[in-house]
A = this chain, B = another copy of it.
Amino acid sequence: MSFNEAFKAIADPNRRKILSLLKKGDLTAGEIAEHFDMQKPSVSHHLKILKQADLVEDRRVGQHIYYSLNTTVFQDLMSWFYDILQKEGDES
């Protein structure tokens, strides 16, 4: 079910920015929030949507919650694009 959820999740530019930030390494919720003008609860909401779409994972370390990319679903999304770009009848 998370294929559609993932497409919806990446539709928001703030969430895409979060994913780009995480590309460079894991970050805590607070560190992520520092990169935005939004309030922290809003960032937390976006993180929740990314988590539900299986695009990120979280783990608690003391007071902090670290977020990291989960690349497995990205593969699925890319496959959809790849399939669209295949020409008709191209069996390769």
Contacts and interface: CB of A to CB of B under 8 A. Distances in A.
Contact of A7 (B4, B11, B23, B24): B11
Interface of A is mostly: helix
Contact of A8 (B11, B75, B88): B11
How many A residues are at the interface, by size bracket? 20 to 34
B88 A25 contact: yes
B81 A69 contact: no
B69 A74 contact: no
A82 B74 CA distance: 9
B81 A16 contact: no
B78 A23 contact: no
A41 interface: no
